[in-house]
Homo-oligomer: A and B are copies of this chain.
Amino acid sequence: MALVNGHEQNYISIADRGLAYGDGLFETIAWTGKYLHLWARHWHRLKEGAQRLQIKLPDEQQVLTQIKTLIAAQNRSQASYQMARVVKLILSRGSGGRGYRLPDSPEPQLIITLHPWPEREDSDYQQGIRVRVCHTMLSAQPVLAGLKHLNRLEQVMAASELTDTCYMEGLMLEFSTADHLQRQTVIEGISSNVFFVREGQLHTPEIRHSGVNGTIRCELLEYAKKRGIQVQTGVYSLQDMMDAEEVFFSNSIFGILPVRQIDYPDYTSHCIPNNIQSVSKYYNQRKLSTLLAQNINQVLQRPCQFNEL
């Protein structure tokens, strides 16, 4: 079951500009059986995207009501009350004639779908995951940076490189004419943001020319600020990250996942120390990713704008 503009429907017009040009935005939100997590942050990003792309935003309360309806219907049909789900919203500009110019008064289409919750191994959280540096790089485009828009061919091409199932995520660099891989700028994971700790200092790439401004990324930056943990956002090369004691990814579905090994396209590997010994002096015998993950889990369990069904 899916909703398009509040109606049960599983198709859209072939004239939709979401299809023609990727002219729209999306959000993937965690529903963990009780709460819709970080709704305010997801809505904020959708709103900012709609402003920048000049797409009319639907009414927030109506969208929440539609999500609630969809979850309730799914729960009834599957006898799976309180089952975790991924809620996906797509907001497209709607139909328009041929040509890039904006139609005079397009009717935006809001599509809401539910998807199975991707279960992950506990060991991924405890020992960390293996990732691969992708050949496919992100292009620099300040007009679109930060937004979760529908132009995602770069991510599709990068994900197609992860043919080996041992890779749960790929690390993406920004395209430049730099001659050496190590000097390329690190931006994010294919579907996540990236953080690293070096000499006890938490760093994350700035989202200025490319990358998505993740909801958990925002949550982490705010939490760190409150707790007095200094975070630097800046321009970092792959080499900067290779010198780190800890590396971890964040996204709205898996939360925080530490990295234990980074493989290069030429299949040489780099292990992240990622253990208590190497970082103990900084955070009371705890890895920073563990500390942050514990807090983020608390955040994820915090009620949001609509209550228990």
B-binding residues in A (CB < 8 A): 2, 4, 9-23, 26, 28, 53-54, 86, 88, 90, 92, 97-102, 111, 113, 115, 136-137, 139-144, 149-160, 162, 175, 190-191, 209-210
Closest chain B residue to A10 by CB distance?
A: B14
C-alpha spacing A113/B20, complex, angstroms: 12
Let me know if B19 and A150 touch, CB within 8 A.
Answer: yes
Let me know if B162 and A101 touch, CB within 8 A.
Answer: yes
Neighbouring B residues of A210 by C-beta, 8 Å:
139
Let me know if A159 and B101 touch, CB within 8 A.
Answer: yes
Q: Find the residue from A18, A113, A153 having the highest chain B CB count within 10 A.
A: A153
Report the minimum CB–CB distance from A178 to chain B (whole Å). Answer: 12
Let me know if A175 and B98 touch, CB within 8 A.
Answer: no
The 6 closest A-B pairs by CB, nearest first: A22-B22, A139-B139, A21-B152, A100-B159, A139-B141, A151-B151
Let me know if B175 and A113 touch, CB within 8 A.
Answer: no
Let me know if B14 and A4 touch, CB within 8 A.
Answer: yes
Neighbouring B residues of A101 by C-beta, 8 Å:
159-160, 162
Known A21-B22, A88-B98; further 6 A-B contacts with Cβ < 8 A: A10-B14, A11-B14, A12-B19, A21-B151, A101-B160, A151-B153
Let me know if A19 and B21 touch, CB within 8 A.
Answer: no
Let me know if B151 and A152 touch, CB within 8 A.
Answer: yes
Closest chain B residue to A151 by CB distance?
A: B151
Given that A100-B156, A102-B159, A160-B101 are contacting pairs, would A20 and B26 also be in contact in the complex, using a CB cutoff of 8 Å?
yes
C-alpha spacing A144/B151, complex, angstroms: 12
Let me know if A143 and B151 touch, CB within 8 A.
Answer: no
Let me know if B162 and A153 touch, CB within 8 A.
Answer: no
Given that A14-B2, A14-B12, A14-B90 are contacting pairs, would A191 and B21 also be in contact in the complex, using a CB cutoff of 8 Å?
no
C-alpha spacing A231/B98, complex, angstroms: 32
* A53 in complex: contacting residue of B9, B53, B151, B157, CB < 8 Å: B157
Neighbouring B residues of A10 by C-beta, 8 Å:
13-15
Neighbouring B residues of A175 by C-beta, 8 Å:
140-142, 209
Let me know if A156 and B19 touch, CB within 8 A.
Answer: no
Given that A115-B97, A156-B100, A160-B102 are contacting pairs, would A13 and B11 also be in contact in the complex, using a CB cutoff of 8 Å?
yes
Q: Find the residue from A137, A150, A162 having the highest chain B CB count within 10 A.
A: A150
C-alpha spacing A162/B102, complex, angstroms: 10
Report the minimum CB–CB distance from A191 to chain B (whole Å). Answer: 6
